[in-house]
Structure formats: C-alpha cells, structure tokens
Chain A
Amino acid sequence: MNFHPNEVQRRARIAMLVIQGVVLVLVLAFFRAQIVQHARFALAAEDNRLRQIPLPAARAVIYDRRGEIIAENVPGYSISVLARSERVIRELMERIGTLSPVTPEQVGSAIRRYRTDPSRPTVLFTDAPPALVAMLEERRVAFPELIVQSAPKRFYPDGPVVSALVGYTGEVNDRELADSTFVDYKPGQLIGKDGIERQYESQLRGREGTRFIEVDARGRIVRPVARTDQLPSSPEPLRTNIDLDLQRFVASIFGDSLIGGVVVMEPTTGAVLALHSAPTFDPNRFTGGIPKSYWELLQSDPRRPLYNKAIKGTYPPGSIWKLATAIIAMEQGLVDIDDRMPVACRGGYQFGTRFFGCWDPKGHGNPTLAQAIEHSCDTYFYQLGLKIGLQRLITGGLALGSRTRSGIDLPAESRPLFPTDPARAYYDKRFGPQGWTNAVTLNLSIGQGENSQTVVSMARFYTALATDGMAARPEVVRRSPERERLFSLEPRQMRALQTALTSVVGTGTAAASRIQGITVAGKTGTAQNAQSREQYHAWFVGYAPAEAPQLVVAVMLEFGGHGSRAARIATRIMEHYLKGAVVAMPEMAGE
C-alpha cells in the first residue's frame, strides 16, 4: 500500500486523464451525431413521425352523347391501417372478425397488399359496408390505429345495360403492378379492368391526394400535421358517342333470353351509338371486390356473360359476307349487277362429285346479282366465287378488311379470322397439300369456311356499303373520325348494290322486318358453325334510312336461327332511333 503523496498525485493525474479522455470521446461522438450528421437524423426523426395517408381520388365521370351519366362516383368508405408487420394485420382482422364477419379472402388480400408496399397504409376493406364503418367508429377507442376514410366508389346507374361497353373497375392486381404501363400504381388502388374503363384508364384515373399525419412508435395516429393536405383531384369527364337511350333500348330487346352482340354506328363518323353483348353482368357488383358467389355464377354460365360478343367473339359471317364476294367480282369487272350465272339454281350446285346445297331447296331460278343478293342465293355465289378464283377472292377479302380489326377504342378486340395471302400456302399449311380442294372457294364465297368475323368488324364493313366504299373506324369516345377506302365502284354500281340491299328488307329474306315510313337496307346471314349442326348464328347487318343512312346496325344472335330474327331486332333498333329519339346533339362546352 503506497500512499506517498507523490504517488497519489501521479495516480490522481492518470485518473483525471482517463476521465478527460473518455469525456472527450463522448463529446466527439455527440458532435458527430448532433452537428455533423444532424441533417440526416433530423430527416429520420421526421420520417419517424410523419406518415402519408393517401386520399383516394374519384375517377372521371363518363357521359353519353347527350350528357347522361354512364359512370359516376358515389360515396364509399375504405378502412386501412398503418401496420408494422403482417402479424398486426392478422390480429386486427381477427379482432374485427369478432364484431363482423371477415372472410379468409379479405385477410389474404390485406396481407398481399401489405407485402407489396408495407410503407403505405394497408387497405383492409376497399368498400366497407356502412354497418361495419359505423360499428368500428363506435369502438374507435379499441381501434385507434384504423384509418377510416371516404373512398369514392364507381357506380353505373344503368348497371348491366352498359357492361359490354364500359367494362368495370377493380383493385389493381399483381400482374398489373408488375407491368411497366402501370408503374405508378399502388396496391389497393382502383384500375379499369375492361371496356372504356380500361381503354381510357389514363384519362379516367384521378390523382390521389395525400394527408400527413403524425404517429407514435406504435403507429397510433396522434394528430394531423400542419402540413397542408394535397387534395385528390379527378380528371375532366369523358364524353362518349354513346346514345344511352338507344343503349337501354338495345339491352331491353335482348332481355335475359337472347345471346348475342350488337353494334350501332353512324356510317360516316364511325360514332358508336350503342354496343351490347348479351347476356350481361352487373359492373356495380365488381366495385369493391367481386363477391365470390357472383364471380362463380358468371364463370359457370354457359352463355359466358363476361365474353364480349360484340368485339371479342368471332362468328362465321355467312350470307352477310356475300356482299364482299359481289364487290370483289364487280371491282374486277367479272360481273355486273344484272349479270346471271351459267347454272340456274335448282336448290344447289354440283361441283365435281359434291353437291353444294342452296339454303332454299326449292331453288331461285336464274337470278341476276341483285336478285341473288335479295334472296341470298347460294348457287349464284358458288359460281361467282369460282369465277373470281380462290387467290383473288382472298386478296379481295383482305382488301375489304376481313382480317383487320375494326380499330374500335375498346380493349381486347379480336382480329377476324380469314385466310392469308397467298391462298395456296395458307391452305397447304392448314390442311396439308393434298388435304383440300377448290371446294374451299365455294364455302368462302358464301361467307363460310375459314372466315370468322366480329360483330364490330362487320358493322364497319357495312359503313362502307352504306356510303361510298369508305369504312369509318368505330369511335366510342369522340375522336377525330377516321375513314378508310375499302373499295371503289362506279356510282351506278354502288347505287345498284344499295338498291339490292334495300330489297332484302323490302321483298327479300328480311321482308318481315319492314318498318312503316323508313326504308331499311341490309343483309341477313344464317351461318353454319362448328359448334352446332342444327342451330345457326343469325346475322343481320344493315343501315337506315336507305336513301340517307344515319345509322348502321349489326346484330348477331348466337345460335339464333335464321337471319330474319336478327333483322327484326335490327329494324326495331333503327325504328327506335329514327322515330323515337332526339337525334340532334347539343353543343358541349369547350368544343
């Protein structure tokens, strides 16, 4: 034990040095954290306490041509939570589940949303029923972390009437989130899934707002922050060419029993006045997540309500395509409107060893081209097809747009099926070099065989027939009209063809569909199909008034029987439009 004063002094000095050294290290450490890295930590502190709560924006309203509402927004509620872990969400859903039923699917999608973006408030219920909202608000103390906010939800006043046209909205899914087109989408947000909602997504989508709130370490909301909210904004309304009144009428004709598709267009502008696919579905039920039962019902329905029969379904056109054969032949100068074929129709045509029947076994005698169109004489067109020849028939068909999408501004339009050029290569590839004969020409010439058209593509073709050979691109939303020349005939020939089409409804195959006071032109089609030998697809494509066409109507009834049935529907649509409704379009602001 050495306590000599000098020794003690030495040790005391060392001890003080140690203390000073340690304090210096601490001072430097605090200097580093508080002065050098202050900005970084200040930011971290801010991040710690501020959370951004997205404020959902309403989608743009969709109007018809007269300003009637096709799609709008009504108040709804979403419930979300700022969760730190999946466990928090599970526990929360479990607690909510004790008050009101929560399905495993709801828990699953909440977890999925959390995983995709944990930093964002996780949406637990996209469209919470008012009863649940009321119940949770009453027990606010027990659920301090819940964010209940108004979330505008999509509403289609006419529901099923507009489903084929407008489509529906739904929560953005994983595949869409991974798609670079939708790069700024967040889980839980709405996106157009089909129809106008999908096609014009970028114009319909609102800009989400942001609310800043301050939270504590447990994610409980302490207070809103003074920082001003960025309010959500919704875009300008989308104006369409649709005539909602006509659309309703079309839907009412189809009712629940008929299956098929309808496209109604203006022949010169291409404006789509109505577009319908039957049976329909209710797009309102897709809002806030489709109930499983409803989804299964739609999926299991053999009539495929979700399958758009106006733009997605392709069907053999049958006799309505005979006009294409006629035009090809006339353009080539092979035949004129009053020319007859060598073999008269006695109910069919003998081609080699095979007999090709005419639809009317009684036969049509020896008609001119005009009469053959009027009565849809197959025998005439078999011979006309042979006269044109397979290669020219296909080149001509392609020129008339038989393998071209109409270009309608709706998503996922199918391309019509039709042989490619050169014809021989196409058929060799399809059936093998020895697998086919010139009989394919006979089938093609009456709109059968390797030919399958959409309703909208046939409507477009007939806009050319109704006018001067120029086809108009179908426009659901007003764009600048675009017309394309499909064929050129002398005005005399054009008028003759149109006269023939008029007599179809006057005295021909659709004579039963005449309307008092309006001359209708058009062509019926009764198309054989691969699905059923007995039930034919019934077609009618036509326009009215014949002397100054205001609308082209294409009607296809799946397994609907004879084309005259479709004709009856088409002429009723024409009658309603031309006689009943106000045709004039009011001037819209800003145009």
Chain B
Amino acid sequence: MRLPADWPLTVTAALLTVFGVAMVYSAGQTDVPTFVVGLWRTQLLWVIVGLVFGYGVSRLSVRLVDAVTVPIYVVSLVVLAALLVVGQGAGTAASTKSWLAIGGVRLGQPSELAKIAVVLMLARVLSASRAAPSSLRELVPSALVVGVPWLLIMAQPDLGTGIVFVGIYFAMLFWAGASWPLLVMAASPALSLILAFSTGIWGGWFLLLLAMLAWVRPPRWEGVGLVVANLVMGVLAPLLWGRLDPYQQRRILVFLDPSADPRASGYHVIQSQVAIGSGGFFGKGFTLGSQKRLAFLPEQETDFIFPVVAEELGFLGVLVALALFTFLLHRTIRVAGRATSPFASLVAFGLTAAWFTHIAVNIGMTVGVLPVTGIPLPFFSYGGSFMLMSWLSVGLLVSISEEGRGRAGGLVV
C-alpha cells in the first residue's frame, strides 16, 4: 500500500515536531522542578492524536471537505459563542475564556480549530465567484466570514489568535487575486489607528491614501466612507484616548492583550533577549541553558520556547529551525500552486498563511522585533489543540497535494 503523502512536506513537519517535543522536554529541565517537567509526555500524546487525525484527514477527498465546510464553520461559531459564557481560563491564557471544558475536564481551545474552519469557509466564499473581489462592497461576504469569529475571539479576549485571523484573511484575498489597492483600502482604517500615535506620520499616510483613491477611483460612496473611516480612526480615536487616565488606557491595553502589561512584557522581552543573546553561535548545549534552568525565561514551554532553542542550540539551532520552517512554507505554497481547484488552492494558501503568521509573530516577538503578543509557535509550543490543528493542517495539505500530484502547474517550486 502506498501511503498518500507529500513526503517532503510530511517529513519536514515531522522533523519540526520531533525538534519541538525535544524543546518542550528541555523546557521542563529546570533547577527547581515545576509542572513543566512532565509536559513533554503529554505533548507526545497530542502528537499521536494529531498524527491519527491528520492521517484521517489526508485520506478525505477535497470535495468531501468542501461539502462539510459550512457545518464545520457553523459549529465553530456556536462553540466560540458558547465559550463566552462557559469558557475558562487556563495555562498561558489564564485570564481569558478560551478553554472549553465539560464536567471540569478541559477539552481544548476551540479557537485553534476555528482557524481551520475559517480558512475552509473563506476558501469556499472566495472561490464561489468567478472574478476576484474588486471593490470594498464585494469584500463584505468574506469579511463577514472572518469578522464574526474574529469578534468572538477578541471578546475572550485573545489578541494573538485575532492577529492570525487578520493574516489569514489578507493572505487569502491576495491569493484570490484581489488587487493591491483594494487590500490597502481594506486595511486603511486599521493602519490609521496604528499610525495615529504621530500626527505627522498619520498625515503623510492620509495624503498617500487620498492620492491612491484619486488613482483607483473606487465607487463614490466607498471612497467617501473610507476617508471618513480613516479620519475617525486617525483623529478622533487619539483624542478620545488622550482623555483617558493612564490606568484606563492600561486597562484597555490589557483587555486587548492580557500579556500587554508594560512591566511584565518588558521583563519578558529582556529575559528572552538575554537567553537568546547568551546562546552565542553554538549554544550552551541541549537542556543546559542557564536562563531557562533558572526560570528567568517566562512561558518557556509555550510562547517563549524559541529562546530555549536559541540559548541551548545557539545561532546554529536557530538557522536549522528557520530553514525547516522556510522549507515547509515553500512546500505548502507549492501545494497551493498545484491544487486542482480554486477551493483547494485557497485552503492550502490559507493554512500556509496561518502558520506563517504564527511563526513570524512568535519568533519576531522573542527576538524583540515585534511587540509581545500571546501567540504560540507551530510544532514547538506546548499545547494540545494547537498541535492537533497543525497536524490536521498537514493532513489537509497532503490531501490537496495528492490530488494535484503530477499536474503541471508550471510553478517555480
């Protein structure tokens, strides 16, 4: 029997998983033992669960997946909504309601599986029309597909997963063929909000936006709506923000992102960089990282697991990990390029985007190029639902790859 598998993809994912479980084991090797010491066994269990389900999914035809997309999506929405009432906090997400528990047994974090549901539903909606969306009005259905679960997740609140949804959405719009100006216009209110901290920068950005609108000439009301939305975000929001007391501002920030407490996150970043930097080229040796051993690294088995890699295996280990990730992503883009249907292609690219957002934001945060956001690293961070989601993704990608096998896509890879 020939196992249907995209071997380069599967093997890379497997290598990353072995690497990851080893790092979870190492994260537990501290001088003052904590509960982390035994987590690698649990993680291994979840890997097996992930492999089983991933294999199962890989045997399904893409058409069947297409057929069950709507029920899966609806169930996801219902579970996410229910979480706001019955959800529990635990682990790194202690202050949020991201956990589903029945009878006191925590089953997992449904938001991880919701990522896949959203990718599937988006692929379905975007592949339904013949042409790529060309105006803001045409973005409305797809925006709703992402927006509803996004709001439910932001209400938990879970900024990290929220960011991943945004990454998935824009990547899939791009893959569906949406034009750059449309993507920029869709993102413009959010960009205005971010750039509003400096009047000068925001002013420049606003002029650029006006110039672009003059060039693209979108439908009149869309153009007016965009200008108004950007003005509100860029001018009113900072004014309102400035009227708040510092403690209120902090509360909103902490609400948006529980890990955003300035002192705590500052401490995290500093300790993370010390661990990374002290690793040097060859590292301190597997399980021997002093910062990790002495628990100076926060969340070293989940969000800050990559500094353990950097501290113990050095720059060399970092290069190996990044190379594996890069190869994996190239391989999945190749799968997307060779897919037999727009739906399958979009699913493959959406899953790629989900992984990429996780990898870039997580590693970027540990090394200090991005702000601290609670977001895990695929195949490395301890977490059952996340490992399951990753291997379900691998299964889906293998299935899509299998159907596209032998098809001359004429792709670069």
A8 to B339, CA, bound (A): 10
**Contact between A12 and B318, CB atoms less than 8 A apart:** no
A16 with B276: in contact, given A214-B294, A216-B296 (CB under 8 Å)? Answer: no
User: Which residues A16-32 have CB closer than 8 A to chain B?
Assistant: 16, 19-20, 22-23, 25-27, 29-31
Stretch from A147-155, A186-194, A217-225 that touches the partner: A217-225
A5 with B278: in contact, given A34-B315, A217-B296 (CB under 8 Å)? Answer: no
Stretch from B97-105, B150-158, B202-210, B322-330 that touches the partner: B322-330
User: Which residues B263-301 have CB closer than 8 A to chain A?
Assistant: 271, 273-281, 290-291, 294-296
**Contact between B326 and A19, CB atoms less than 8 A apart:** yes
- Would you call A1 an interface residue if the criterion is a C-beta within 8 Å of the partner chain's C-beta atoms? yes
**Contact between B345 and A30, CB atoms less than 8 A apart:** no
Select from chain B the residue with minimum beta-carbon distance to A5. Answer: B410
- Would you call B86 an interface residue if the criterion is a C-beta within 8 Å of the partner chain's C-beta atoms? no
- Would you call B143 an interface residue if the criterion is a C-beta within 8 Å of the partner chain's C-beta atoms? no
A48 to B277, CA, bound (A): 13
**Contact between A9 and B367, CB atoms less than 8 A apart:** no
**Contact between A3 and B412, CB atoms less than 8 A apart:** no
- Would you call A44 an interface residue if the criterion is a C-beta within 8 Å of the partner chain's C-beta atoms? yes
A2 to B360, CA, bound (A): 28
Chain B hits for A5, CB < 8 A: 409-410
- Would you call B368 an interface residue if the criterion is a C-beta within 8 Å of the partner chain's C-beta atoms? yes
A3 to B126, CA, bound (A): 12
* A19 partner, pick from B315, B330, B367, beta carbons under 8 A: B330
Query: Shortest Cβ distance from B266 into chain A, in angstroms?
Result: 14
Size range of the chain B interface in the assembly: 35 or more
Query: Shortest Cβ distance from A352 into chain B, in angstroms?
Result: 84
* A2 partner, pick from B132, B333, B368, beta carbons under 8 A: B132
Select from chain A the residue with minimum beta-carbon distance to B30. Answer: A216
Stretch from B173-181, B182-190, B222-230, B393-401 that touches the partner: B173-181
**Secondary structure call for the A interface:** helix
- Would you call A135 an interface residue if the criterion is a C-beta within 8 Å of the partner chain's C-beta atoms? no
- Would you call B314 an interface residue if the criterion is a C-beta within 8 Å of the partner chain's C-beta atoms? yes
Query: Shortest Cβ distance from B357 into chain A, in angstroms?
Result: 10
A6 to B126, CA, bound (A): 19
**Contact between A19 and B411, CB atoms less than 8 A apart:** no
* B290 partner, pick from A3, A7, A45, beta carbons under 8 A: A45
Interface string of A120-146 (1 = CB under 8 A from B): 000000000000000000000000000
Chain A hits for B129, CB < 8 A: 1
- Would you call B31 an interface residue if the criterion is a C-beta within 8 Å of the partner chain's C-beta atoms? yes
A214 to B291, CA, bound (A): 11
- Would you call A11 an interface residue if the criterion is a C-beta within 8 Å of the partner chain's C-beta atoms? yes
**Contact between B274 and A44, CB atoms less than 8 A apart:** yes
User: Which residues A66-93 have CB closer than 8 A to chain B?
Assistant: none
- Would you call B16 an interface residue if the criterion is a C-beta within 8 Å of the partner chain's C-beta atoms? no
**Contact between B131 and A2, CB atoms less than 8 A apart:** yes
**Contact between B278 and A41, CB atoms less than 8 A apart:** yes
Chain A hits for B31, CB < 8 A: 216, 222-223
- Would you call B391 an interface residue if the criterion is a C-beta within 8 Å of the partner chain's C-beta atoms? no
Chain B hits for A223, CB < 8 A: 31
- Would you call A49 an interface residue if the criterion is a C-beta within 8 Å of the partner chain's C-beta atoms? yes
* A29 partner, pick from B126, B330, B345, B367, beta carbons under 8 A: B367
Report how many A-B pairs have Cβ atoms within 8 Å: 154
Query: Shortest Cβ distance from A326 into chain B, in angstroms?
Result: 80
Chain A hits for B310, CB < 8 A: 30, 33-34
Chain A hits for B127, CB < 8 A: 1
Interface string of A303-318 (1 = CB under 8 A from B): 0000000000000000
User: Which residues B331-361 have CB closer than 8 A to chain A?
Assistant: 333-334, 336-337, 342, 345, 349, 352, 356, 360
- Would you call A530 an interface residue if the criterion is a C-beta within 8 Å of the partner chain's C-beta atoms? no
A23 to B131, CA, bound (A): 32
- Would you call B130 an interface residue if the criterion is a C-beta within 8 Å of the partner chain's C-beta atoms? yes
- Would you call A35 an interface residue if the criterion is a C-beta within 8 Å of the partner chain's C-beta atoms? yes
**Contact between B409 and A8, CB atoms less than 8 A apart:** yes
Query: Shortest Cβ distance from A374 into chain B, in angstroms?
Result: 85
User: Which residues A221-238 have CB closer than 8 A to chain B?
Assistant: 222-223
- Would you call B363 an interface residue if the criterion is a C-beta within 8 Å of the partner chain's C-beta atoms? yes
Chain B hits for A42, CB < 8 A: 277-278, 280
A45 to B284, CA, bound (A): 12
* B364 partner, pick from A15, A26, A45, beta carbons under 8 A: A26
A2 with B330: in contact, given A8-B411, A217-B295 (CB under 8 Å)? Answer: no
* A1 partner, pick from B176, B291, B368, beta carbons under 8 A: B176
Chain A hits for B216, CB < 8 A: none
- Would you call B64 an interface residue if the criterion is a C-beta within 8 Å of the partner chain's C-beta atoms? no
A37 with B277: in contact, given A1-B131, A30-B310, A48-B294 (CB under 8 Å)? Answer: yes
Pairs A–B under 8 Å by Cβ, sample size 21: A1-B132, A1-B176, A3-B342, A3-B345, A8-B411, A11-B175, A12-B411, A15-B349, A16-B333, A22-B360, A25-B364, A33-B273, A33-B276, A42-B280, A45-B274, A48-B291, A49-B291, A216-B32, A216-B296, A217-B296, A222-B294
Q: Supply 18 further A-B pairs (C-beta < 8 A) apart from A1-B342, A34-B318, A218-B295.
A: A1-B126, A9-B411, A14-B174, A15-B174, A15-B175, A16-B329, A16-B333, A19-B356, A26-B364, A29-B369, A30-B276, A30-B315, A31-B315, A33-B310, A48-B271, A48-B291, A49-B291, A216-B31
Nearest 10 A/B pairs, CB to CB: A41-B277, A45-B278, A216-B294, A2-B177, A34-B315, A33-B277, A29-B367, A217-B295, A217-B296, A42-B278
